[in-house]
Chain A
Amino acid sequence: MTDILMPALSPTMEEGTLAKWHVKEGDTVKAGDVIAEIETDKATMEVEAVDEGKITSILVAAGTEGVAVNTPIARLDGEGEPAAEAPKEAPKQEAPKQDASGDPEKQPPEAAKPKPEGEGAAPVAPKPTVELRDPEIPAGARMVKITVRDALRDAMAEEMRRDPDVFLMGEEVAQYQGAYKVSRDLLQEFGDKRVIDTPITEHGFAGLGVGAAMAGLKPIVEFMTWNFAMQAIDQIINSAAKTLYMSGGQIKSSIVFRGPNGAAARVGAQHSQDYSAWYGQVPGLKVVAPYDAADAKGLLKAAIRDPNPVVFLEHEMMYGVEFEIPEVEDWIVPIGKARIRREGSGVTITAHSRMVGLALKAAEELAGEGIEAEVIDLRTIRPLDHETIVESVRKTNRLVTVEEGWGPMGVGAEVIARVLEHAFDYLDAPPLRVHQEDVPLPYAANLEVLSLPSVEKIVKAAKAVSYK
């Protein structure tokens, strides 16, 4: 003898009306037979028998309203299987459910509460077992001049030599040698199996890349610009970033998505956007935005080796800029570590990618006016190295954030939130944000300049927080 229970027919149903019985007491039913109709707030649904047997009694009459889910509605004389019994309560593991009453005693224990990134006990990114540190530059190492473009190219070439599972795909990466020549000579060295020209089909090839990564390869997917990756953002977030979690750790996506990000020059609104904050919000992704050649090379090599999906944001205006880079074998810069580009005690300025250059110039001007700025190059947007920032603000007591993207919900907003969480009492002035004006990037030369962050805007903000 088993009870037939009032079923839930939608994710939100708690009760319903038992509209009609299709069987009467004494009827024999088999699995799949429609036995009743139930009305919910949304629809009328049929209820099918799951077991075979004879209906011995009907417990809830047709037309009864407000029948709670899991109320016995009829009794079946069958073989009686455990699944037809009232559901056993799941053995609870003190799941971290918030109690709506706000009663502190009903709140989950401290250990079970979700922690925001960086609160230590529940790291969003696993805490590295060793301290993240830039590679040592051996005494006497030769410094060579190299463009950011070639540094990125060298990083890919070195990793492709090292690991046959690494390959590059994207538009114009092979025969054309890269739309911005970042993949120059790679086709010649590695052949068309490992340097793959794709059709103009971002959504599709990003998905192919993630699929290949799920199968264990280590693709580098180049977007001609990150603006075009908007077509592919579903695959980056829903497939690459989430699958490790959704599979309980079974399926990894070791993949790098890379390309130029941010505003170039006079290319208009659709080709000029900084995606740092967009991707920086997504758990499962790492987001890197280097400034100089040494970081571009070292961080890209780290990204390619990383077992997680990495969004690697380059800058078109930086590709041709030359920097000195130490001639060191296997130059790898750890993801997740900010770099203090200039030390100072007057004000902390954070920036990433091309904005680091502007911040450094601003610092020089500020020095002329007696303000010593400490410039922090974030380098990695996610996981954000807020320890370095917080430590700096504890010293300078003032903060200005700089980014090329829009301000609202931006990287600067996040940096400031972290500083407020960890160093509120150390602040001597409300932090300020320098960012692109809150408009689509205009084409006209003068408006474009007005819209973007500038040395002047940074200097002004730094003076404002210094009350000067």
Chain B
Amino acid sequence: MARTPKSGPSEGKTPDTGVNRKGRAPDKAQLTQWYRDMLLIRRFEERAGQLYGMGLIGGFCHLYIGQEAIAVGMETVKKPGDQIITGYRDHGHMLAAGMDPKEVMAELTGRAGGSSKGKGGSMHMFSTEAGFYGGHGIVGAQVSLGTGLALADRYRGDGRVSFTYFGDGAANQGQVYESFNMAELWSLPVVYVIENNQYAMGTSIERSASETRLHRRGISFNIPGEEVDGMDVLAVVEAGAKAAEHARSGKGPYILEMKTYRYRGHSMSDPAKYRTKEEVDEVKKTRDPIEHLRERLEKAKVSEEDLKAIDAEVKKIVAEAAEFARTSPEPDPSELYTDVYLEAAQ
């Protein structure tokens, strides 16, 4: 594949994201939508934690609480047909992409109504309709796969962009850099979104990375990158729009390092002894993405009743999802041997 000559600075229009580049505040409806979407993820994840505690969800369950602004903000930037792919901390991305909370929760409980018919589990869900390509359990594998989605976009010339998410842990995997190299070499339309929540399971970034400023990890491949406050949905959207525009206009990949924090342990069985309670509390108190947005909404004169109505709506959706996830039947035993192969045309 030939290298695409790089064009000059983008002449393209600023994408319509609800955020004006000149700093004018997004409108009330947009702010409210973000709030609702972020709250949905948080309440959903809290409920998932509860169902796990009740033994209804098995195995691993990685909650997205604290990181909601990233998935929700980037969804605003995404256009129809664009693809998303991420690792195992994927529930928030699926909800942001518009997958049915019932199907996501029922997959967590391993039921026939789950988005993978109960055969994937927490880390393995997909929806071509929502442009969501998983849900991958091998740390870093999604980076090559996401770059491959971008290869398909470039091959077809359909103007799509692949949003490829990974964490600070995956950022140390070799295939990430193999992918960076090819993405830049072939000008593939991919935005690498690094969700730097500071801890790769129990190992802090300081203990695992020689260069902790992960947005600089593309330098030797000539991939531009920037650091973003991943706890601020407006900052996410603004940076995301710029990165997507770069990729969509044929200039190749772009790296966004979202500085964020996960409130819960790596998975449900992680007591998180590698960090202090004070550290977690401090983030919750000062940087919480939802509280932050709620304050903006109050300033934008969104009424208390409106916020309460959103709370109630979200609560209802989550309660219904949980109910569906508990009552949906287990997959029929006959499903054991389905979806292993597709039948070849004769």
Chain B positions 176-209 with a Cβ under 8 Å from a chain A Cβ? 178-179, 181-182, 185
Report if A162 contacts B (CB, 8 A).
no
Binary A-proximity of B313-346 (CB < 8 A = 1, otherwise 0) = 0010001001100110111111011111111111
**In the complex, what's the smallest C-beta–C-beta distance from A243 to chain B, in angstroms?**
7
Can you list 16 pairs linking A and B with CB atoms under 8 Å apart? A11-B59, A50-B47, A69-B53, A81-B319, A83-B322, A88-B326, A91-B329, A91-B330, A93-B330, A204-B144, A204-B179, A205-B178, A208-B182, A238-B137, A250-B127, A305-B345
Q: Which residue of B lies closest to A129 (CB)?
A: B346
- Using CB atoms, name the residue of chain A closest to B346: A130
Q: State how many angstroms separate the Cβ of B28 from the closest Cβ of chain A.
A: 26
How long is the Cα–Cα vector from A11 to B162 in the complex, in angstroms? Answer: 34
- Asked if A96 is an interface residue, CB under 8 A from chain B, the answer is yes
B214 at the interface (CB under 8 A from A): no
Which chain B positions have C-beta within 8 A of A207?
Answer: 141, 143-145, 147-148, 175, 178-179
* A90 → B minimal CB distance (Å): 5
Q: With the chains together, A94 CA to B283 CA distance in Å?
A: 47
Chain B residues near A203: list those with CB within 8 A: 144, 174-175, 178
Tell me whether B24 is interfacial, beta carbon within 8 Å.
no
Closest-CB distance, B45 to chain A (whole angstroms): 11
Selecting from A39-47, A260-268, A363-371, the interface stretch reads A39-47
Asked, given contacts A122-B336, A203-B175, whether A306 binds B344 with beta carbons under 8 Å apart, the answer is: yes
Q: Indicate which residue in A13, A112, A246 contacts B116 across the interface (CB closer than 8 Å).
A: A246
Stretch of A148-156, A214-222, A432-440, A455-463 at the chain-chain interface: A214-222
A247 contact set on B, CB distance < 8 A: 116, 120, 124-126, 134, 339
Contact A208 B144 (CB under 8 A): yes
Q: Are A239 and B141 in contact (CB under 8 A)?
A: yes
Knowing A212-B155, A245-B339, say if A239 contacts B136 (CB, 8 Å).
yes
- Residue B152 is within 8 A (CB to CB) of chain A in the complex: yes
| B55 touching A8, Cβ below 8 Å | yes
On whether A198 and B339 interact (CB within 8 A), knowing A91-B327, A239-B145, the answer reads no
User: Which of B153, B330, B345 is the one whose CB lies under 8 Å from A90?
Assistant: B330
Q: Chain A, 217-250, contact with B by CB distance < 8 Å: what is the 0/1 string?
A: 1000000000000000011001100011111111
Chain A interfacial positions (CB closer than 8 Å to B): 5, 7-11, 13, 31-32, 42-45, 47-48, 50, 69-70, 81-84, 86-88, 90-96, 108, 111-112, 114-115, 122-126, 128-130, 167, 192-193, 196-199, 201, 203-217, 234-235, 238-239, 243-252, 283-284, 286, 302, 305-308, 334-335
A205 to B337, CA, bound (A): 30
A91-B329, A93-B331, A128-B346 are known contacts. Are A82 and B323 too (CB-CB below 8 A)? yes
Contact partner of A83 (CB less than 8 A), chosen from B51, B143, B337, is B51
Which residues of B from 30 to 62 have beta carbons under 8 Å from A? 43, 46-47, 49-56, 58-60
Q: Which residue numbers of B lie inside 8 Å of A, CB to CB?
A: 1-2, 43, 46-47, 49-56, 58-60, 83, 85, 109, 111-112, 114-121, 124-128, 133-138, 141, 143-153, 155, 162, 174-175, 178-179, 181-182, 185, 268-269, 271, 273, 315, 319, 322-323, 326-327, 329-334, 336-346
Query: Of B54, B118, B326, B336, which one neighbours A70 at CB under 8 angstroms?
Result: B54
Q: Which residue of B lies closest to A197 (CB)?
A: B1
Known interface pairs A82-B319, A212-B152, A215-B83; A246-B326 also in contact (CB < 8 Å):
no
- Min Cβ gap A4→B in Å is 10
Interface of A is mostly: loop
- Residues in B whose Cβ lies below 8 Å from that of A215: 83, 133, 148-149, 152-153
Choose among A92, A201, A215 the residue with the greatest number of B CB atoms under 10 Å from its CB. Answer: A215
Q: In the complex, A32→B280 CA distance in Å?
A: 13
Could you say which residues of chain A place their CB within 8 Å of the CB of B144?
A: 203-208, 210-211, 235
Expressed in whole angstroms, the Cα–Cα distance for A217 and B49 within the complex equals 38
The residue from B151, B162, B330 contacting A95, defined by CB atoms under 8 A apart:
B330
- Asked if A249 contacts B333 (CB within 8 A), the reply is no
The 10 closest A-B pairs by CB, nearest first: A211-B148, A207-B144, A204-B178, A7-B53, A10-B269, A215-B152, A43-B271, A248-B117, A211-B145, A248-B116
A44 to B147, CA, bound (A): 40
**Other A-B pairs, 18, CB within 8 Å; known A48-B49, A90-B111, A199-B178:** A43-B269, A43-B271, A81-B315, A83-B47, A90-B330, A114-B336, A126-B343, A193-B1, A203-B175, A204-B147, A207-B178, A207-B179, A214-B145, A215-B133, A238-B138, A247-B125, A249-B117, A307-B342
List of A residues within 8 angstroms of B148 by Cβ:
207-215
CB distance from B336 to the nearest CB of A (A): 6
Cβ-neighbour of A93 out of B47, B127, B319, B332 (below 8 A)? B332
In the assembled complex, how far is the CB of residue A163 from the closest CB belonging to chain B, in whole angstroms? 12
Complex alpha-carbon distance, A91 and B54, angstroms: 16
B323 in contact with A199 (CB, 8 Å): no
Are A128 and B271 touching (Cβ within 8 A)? no
| Cα of A330 to Cα of B182 in the assembled complex, Å | 35
Residues in B with CB closer than 8 Å to A210 are 144-145, 148
Residues of B within 8 A of A50 (CB): 46-47, 49-50
Chain B residues with Cβ below 8 Å from A209 are 148
A198 to B147 CA separation, bound complex (whole angstroms): 13
Q: Which residues of B contact A44 (CB under 8 A)?
A: 271
